[in-house]
Amino acid sequence: MTQPAKKTYLKFEQEKINSEFLRNKLKLKNLETKKSFNEKYPHVEKFFAEKGIDLAKIREHSAKVITTGALTGTLLFNPPLIVDGNSVVKNIVKNVSDLKLGISSIPEQENLLNLINQILPEKIGPLNRSQEKNLEQIFKEILNINTKASLEGEHLNTTYGYIGAEQHLMRYPGDTMATHPKIPEKDEGMAPGRGAWGYFAYSKSQMTESDVDREKWYAVVQTLYLPDWAKRQPYLRDWYKYRKVLVLNTINGNAVVADIADSGPAAWTGKHFGGSPEVMNYLGGSRYKKGPVLLFFVDDPYNQVPLGPVEYNKIEEMGIELKRA
């Protein structure tokens, strides 16, 4: 039997009030904090006013500084360990040829880790174009996946960052954990709201295998911080919806092809990406809640790359001990 209309209406109103209440609380707290700060440090407000920056927009300013640095190749805060990209490329070609000829006994996963460690900076953060190009080549040669840090002119704020565990998403109205697939251990449960792109299907009966996979192997990226996100709607929203990405754990080399199905996480969580319970479980096991990853777009115009694990090597089966993520 359906719920009486009045009750549904009341429930909806209650949810709206809670949400409004939270927003007002935050607005008030924000105003109080700002007022007290400006009273304590009037010269700070003056400093930013003279620079034409609102402190509330400091992240946008940071984005501009970083983008300018990346374009001019002056990311001094993030120096590549290997400046000569050619030597890395030569190494890739040699190592892959050795593997194909059976000369090298190094497993591909270990080989990949050795190569990316020559490229990645010590500090986790944005990479420069040269580093990204070298990584694209490594992924192509070893994983046989075409990836791009910049695809069709789109680039995430960072391709190297921390991923954090997310919950399952509601696939259709009424979806619950009672029927939702789970990971074998320490499952995160289901998020209370929908993903940024809504339900995967209108109803349970309309769910396709592709919808199931999209939720199962979903990733979260910070579209909310893209400098042009608001200006380029609805194009960007459509472009990012279910966009395939390669997510590679830089500690153990485990890799997954995922699709973007939610926006986040907030910068103040110390994370840059999110992964579904299945993505996180494959990348690092059931206890893996946060760790460094590379995240590149998959260049797959004909939709030929399946979502899910990239099983290019079973390094653990070969008795190779890796650092835990």
Partner 1 sequence: MSKLFFDHLLKLDDVNIFIKKSASSTEEHKELIDLVDNIVTTNVLDKILSKLDKKDHEEFLALFHKCPHDEIQIFAYLNTKTGKDINKVLEQELKDFSKEILSELTK
Residues that bind partner 1 in the complex, under the rule CB under 8 A: 15-16, 18-19, 22-23, 25-27, 29-30, 33-34, 37, 40-41, 43-44, 47-48, 51, 53, 55-56, 58-59, 61-63, 65-67, 77, 123, 125-126, 157-158, 164, 191-193, 196, 222, 224-225, 263-270
Amino acid type, 186: K
Q: Which is nearer to partner 1, 27 or 314 (CB)?
A: 27
The least distance separating partner 1 from the CB of residue 226, rounded to whole angstroms, comes to: 9
The least distance separating partner 1 from the CB of residue 163, rounded to whole angstroms, comes to: 13
Q: Which is nearer to partner 1, 225 or 282 (CB)?
A: 225
Q: How many CA atoms lie within 13 A of 259 on its CB side?
A: 25
Residue with structure tokens 């921390």? 162
Q: Which is nearer to partner 1, 164 or 253 (CB)?
A: 164
The least distance separating partner 1 from the CB of residue 264, rounded to whole angstroms, comes to: 8
**What angle is formed at CA 66 by the lines to CA 84 and CA 81, rounded to 5 degrees?**
25
Between CA 270 and CA 56 the distance in angstroms is 19
Q: Which is nearer to partner 1, 171 or 255 (CB)?
A: 171
Rounded alpha-carbon distances, angstroms, from residue 119 to 69, 111, 133, 144: 18, 13, 10, 19
Q: Which is nearer to partner 1, 33 or 210 (CB)?
A: 33
The least distance separating partner 1 from the CB of residue 171, rounded to whole angstroms, comes to: 17
Contact 292, 271 (CB under 8 A): no
165: three-class secondary structure by DSSP: strand
The least distance separating partner 1 from the CB of residue 290, rounded to whole angstroms, comes to: 9
Between CA 199 and CA 154 the distance in angstroms is 25
Measured in whole angstroms, the distance separating CA 93 from the mean position of its chain's CA atoms is: 29
Q: Which is nearer to partner 1, 143 or 219 (CB)?
A: 219
Q: How many CA atoms lie within 13 A of 95 on its CB side?
A: 21
The least distance separating partner 1 from the CB of residue 96, rounded to whole angstroms, comes to: 32
Q: Which is nearer to partner 1, 9 or 47 (CB)?
A: 47
Between CA 146 and CA 129 the distance in angstroms is 16
Contact 296, 135 (CB under 8 A): yes
The least distance separating partner 1 from the CB of residue 21, rounded to whole angstroms, comes to: 8
